[in-house]
Amino acid sequence: MTRFDNKTVLITGAAGGMGSSHARGFHAEGATVIVTDVRDEAGAALVAELGDRAHYLHLDVTSPADWENAIAETERLAGPVSVLVNNAGILARTALIEDGDLDDWHDVIGVNLTGTYLGIRATAPSLRRSGGGSIVNIASTSGHVGTGLIAHYVASKWGVRGLTRTAAIELGRDGVRVNSIDPGVVNTPLITTPLHPGAAPVSDYFSPDAFAIKRMAEPQDITSLLLFLASDQASFITGSEHIADGGMLLGPALAAGQVQNRS
C-alpha cells in the first residue's frame, strides 16, 4: 500500500524507539518524512538509512522558535505538512507527589504536554496550506488511570487527551482531523532503560502475563494503527482516543488469567 504518496509527514522524537518505527512506516508508504528530534546524530543516521524522501531537522518541541524554523524548513524542502505526529515524550525520576522534584514536573509537562500544544499551534497553518490533513498525538494508557510515582507523566498524558479533543473541534472546519493513540507498554528505551542510576527500568513494574495479549507491544504494533489514523481511510475519525494496550486496562488480571487458562 502507498497511502502517503506526495504527502509530507513531520514526526517529533523520531529518532526514538517508536518514532523511528513510525518514520520507516510512513516512508515505506510513499511519504516524504521529516524526522525531528533533539538527538541529532541518531536522527541523521535514520535519515541516511531511509534515503530519498527523508530529511532531518533539529526540533526541541519545547521551543517555539524551533517549531517556527522546522515548519519553514519543511515547507522549503517538501511543501506543506499533511501529517503531524506529536510523538516526543519523556519520563522523569519516579517519586511520590510530596517528594517529587518540581524541575522534573516542569520537564515532563514541558515536553509531553506543552510540546504537543506548541506542535499543534505551529503546524496548523501548514496543514491548512496542504488542503487539510491529520494530527496524531501519542498519549498513553497513563492518561486513563492514575499511576503511583509518575504524577508528572500521568498528568501530561491526561492533558494530551483534552488537547486532542479541543484541537479536533477547532480544526475540523479546516479539514484537519486530530486523534490520539494511547499505547500501553511498548518495548522502547523509554521504559527498558533505568531512569536514573540504581533504578529498575519501568518495564519491570509491569507483568505482560496479566494482559489479555500476553506480551508488551513492539513499536510496529503502534505504527500500524498510526498509519491508519493518519490516512484517508480514517476520514471520519476525529477527536478520538485509540487505546493499543493488549488489554492491559480491561480489568482485573486474575479474571483475564482464569479465562485464558481454560483452553
Ligand X SMILES: NC(=O)c1ccc[n+]([C@@H]2O[C@H](COP(=O)([O-])OP(=O)(O)OC[C@H]3O[C@@H](n4cnc5c(N)ncnc54)[C@H](O)[C@@H]3O)[C@@H](O)[C@H]2O)c1
Dist. CA 84–CA 106, nearest whole Å = 24
**Residue 159 binds ligand X, judged by CB under 6 A:** no
Put the strands of the sheet holding 241-244 in their side by side order.
54-58, 32-37, 8-11, 83-86, 133-138, 176-183, 241-244
Minimum gap (Å) between residue 175 Cβ and ligand X = 26
3-state secondary structure of 66: helix
CA distances from 11 to 36, 71, 100, 168, 248 (A): 6, 12, 31, 19, 27
User: For ligand X, which is the closer residue by CB, 59 or 127?
Assistant: 59
- Which DSSP string do the residues of 117-179 spell out, in sequence order? HHHHHHHHHHHHHTTSEEEEEE--GGGTS--TT-HHHHHHHHHHHHHHHHHHHHHGGGTEEEE
Task: List % helix, strand, coil for the chain (3-state, nearest 5).
Answer: 50, 15, 35
Contact 38, 44 (CB under 8 A): no
Among the listed residues 7, 9, 10, 19, the single contact to ligand X using CB under 6 A: 19
- Which helix (H) or strand (E) segment holds residue 221: the answer is helix 219-230
Q: Which of 10, 35, 54, 61 binds ligand X (CB under 6 A)?
A: 61
End-to-end C-alpha distance for the chain, whole angstroms = 37
**With respect to ligand X, which residue has the nearer C-beta, 129 or 187?**
187
Out of 46, 60, 85, 195, the only residue in the binding site for ligand X (CB under 6 A) is 60
When asked if residue 87 is in the footprint of ligand X (CB under 6 A), the reply is yes
Between residues 172 and 213, which has the closer beta carbon with respect to ligand X? Answer: 213
Residue 80 near ligand X by CB under 6 A: no
Residue 153 designated active-site = yes
Q: Tell me the C-alpha distance between 256 and 131, whole Å.
A: 46
| CB-nearer residue toward ligand X: 185 or 256 | 185
Which range, of 49-57, 84-92, 127-135, 228-236, touches ligand X by CB under 6 A? 84-92
Instruction: Please say which residue, 122 or 138, places its beta carbon nearer to ligand X.
Output: 138
Q: Is 140 in the site for ligand X (CB under 6 A)?
A: yes
Closer by beta carbon to ligand X, 13 or else 159: 13
| Ordered alpha helix ranges (H), 10-78 | 17-28, 40-50, 64-78
| Binder among 18, 70, 155, 168 for ligand X (CB under 6 A) | 18
Contact status: 190 vs ligand X (CB under 6 A):
yes
- Decide: is 180 part of the binding site for ligand X (CB under 6 A): no
Q: How far is the CB of 246 from ligand X (least distance, A)?
A: 11
Among 50, 186, 227, 256, binds ligand X (CB under 6 A): 186
Catalytic residues: 153
Binding site for ligand X (CB under 6 A): 12-13, 15-19, 37-39, 59-62, 87-90, 111, 138, 140, 183, 185-186, 188-191
